[in-house]
Amino acid sequence: MKDDLASKPQVHVAALEHLTGPSRGSIDWFNEAPVDVLLTSDRHIVISPSLPGKSSEDLIARIQQTEKGFEIETVGDRHLWINGKPVEHAEIDHFDMIEFGEGGPLSRLFVHREGEQARVSVGEAVSDAIAYFRVSRRPLFSRISHTLGLIMRQLTRETTLLFRIGVVVAIGVLAALAYQQYRMNVLLQQQIEISASQLEDFARTLVRTREEALTPGDLEALRLEMGKRGILYEERLAELERRTGASARIIAQSGSSVVFLQGAYSFREKSTNRMLRLVVDKNGQPLVSPRGEPRLTLTGDGPVAERQFTGTAFAVTDSGSLLTNRHVAQPWEYDANVELLKNQGLEPIMIKLIGYLPGKPDAHKIEVIRVSAETDLALVRYVDNKMQLKGLKLADTPPSPGDGVIVLGYPTGLRAMLAQAGEAFVRKLQETKIIGFWNVAARLAKVGRIVPLASRGIVGQVSEEAIVFDAETTLGGSGGPILDLSGSVVAVNTAIVPRFGGSNIGTPASKVHIFLKNAGLN
């Protein structure tokens, strides 16, 4: 009995979904095979049971059931295509595409085998749920929850395994994309916070610039101090003259070759060339944060946020080449914000660099022509290249510990020169109230008060890399010449060591010789 049952074909239910032709959109079901497929003269598909002796000129194919499923064969000289391939007899299965005759119509076969769960499409599942929602007489909330549950049950239980696998894969992909988006949002937020922090760091740098700038209170304190002490630059030279006539002579001969540098830099966005600017209110006044730091932006039309600085350079050739420190020619070198801001697409840029010759009334533009990668040295020159300068002589041999040296430069920048200018000049500045960074220097130059400050000291240590000396100097004196008592440059003032008894460091003249040789000037 079992063998007889096993030998019988399983009961299948099949359907042809007509995709093209006049029958398009209709479905013919059949569960008893064989069946005849007729193609009428007006190209309609007709499915009818196959009867012995039945014949028709519209008959195109016959479908029969087998143990495995269904098979189809053509009748007479009619033509069939299964999944795009011409056949006369073939086994057909679920989802096969059957084209009846030349040019169709085209139908899709659906097969439901006994014991298999019926599969529904997503559209069918949604349509069933909508139909339930429309006709059900349950309360609204109950209908909504039951409708959603019906959709979920059909999608998870009654769709094909391939569809469910696809849904799982899609959910996984969406989850991965969501996580990636989350990570990108986190990284973007971190970058925004880092950028804001970096701008705040540069804003604090600008605060230091503001703190270093002259204020009316500074001028008043300076005037009172000069009134009490009565110390002028000429008196200091006279004191040096009394100590040694050689020192005064060297200062007088070399001082005219020592240039006061004044400059400012900011940051620019590489991709757009937009400058970092101050945020201003409707009256054009810069806005500040609760901590007193200026607000910065790459948009708007506020003034460019500039970091101002001063330094020293001196002539090394009669043709106008000036030597200074690399960190003067590239003042952002010691700015901790630079690398961080570079990572955000910003780059430092020199906005303005000018130089004043001692005793000359006007400033002239300076350009950087060479920067050393090995030592803290740089070559600059006047853009117009018409300035008459006398190059200082470079020493051929290093000094010895205990030798006397003279340092020329502009330590403390404008403040030192104001101290040299005298009480009357400071009082006049107070009256005009024009005490901006660039204005004060221009006023000093007009009255011939751009003069390098001289200090004398002793060499403490000598090596191939550095000359250590104790002459007084500070920020702003960087790039100035360190002279021996014969007037030759033995080093370039480079750095101060404030925690070591006022000791300072200079780059030896031997390094300068190499640098100038590589630049074609020696």
Residue with tokens 């006279």: 238
Q: Give the percent of the chain with pLDDT over 70.
A: 75
69 vs 393: which has the higher pLDDT:
393
- How high is the pLDDT of residue 369? 94
Q: How confident is the model at residue 406 (pLDDT cuts 50, 70, 90)?
A: very high
Higher pLDDT, 169 or 206: 169
Residue 240 has pLDDT above 50, yes or no: no
Q: What residue has token string 């002796």? A: 53
User: For the chain, what is the mean pLDDT?
Assistant: 80
pTM score, whole prediction: 0.58
Measured CA to CA, the distance from residue 455 to residue 77 in angstroms comes to 117
Q: Which of 21-30, 280-289, 313-322 has the highest mean pLDDT?
A: 313-322
Q: What is the DSSP letter of 288?
A: B
What residue ranges in 35-128 does DSSP mark as E strands? 35-39, 45-49, 59-65, 70-74, 80-82, 85-87, 89-92, 97-100, 106-113
Bridge-based pairing of strands 296-297 and 59-65 is unpaired
Q: How confident is the model at residue 393 (pLDDT cuts 50, 70, 90)?
A: very high
Within the chain, all domains assigned CATH 2.60.200.20 are found at 2-113
Q: How far apart are CA 148 and CA 137, in angstroms?
A: 16
Q: Which residue has the higher pLDDT, 183 or 323?
A: 323
* Cα angle 278-284-285, degrees, rounded to a multiple of 5: 70
* Distance between CA atoms of residues 132 and 156, nearest Å: 18
Gyration radius from the chain CA atoms:
46
pLDDT at residue 104 greater than cutoff 80: no
CA distance 89 to 207: 90
Structure confidence by residue, pLDDT tens digits, 150-182 = 667 666 665 666 666 766 677 778 788 888 877
In the predicted structure, residue 6 carries a pLDDT above the cut 60: no
Q: According to the CATH classification, is domain 2-113 in 2.60.200.20?
A: yes
Over residues 15-50, the pLDDT tens digits come to 888 888 888 888 888 876 688 999 888 889 998 888
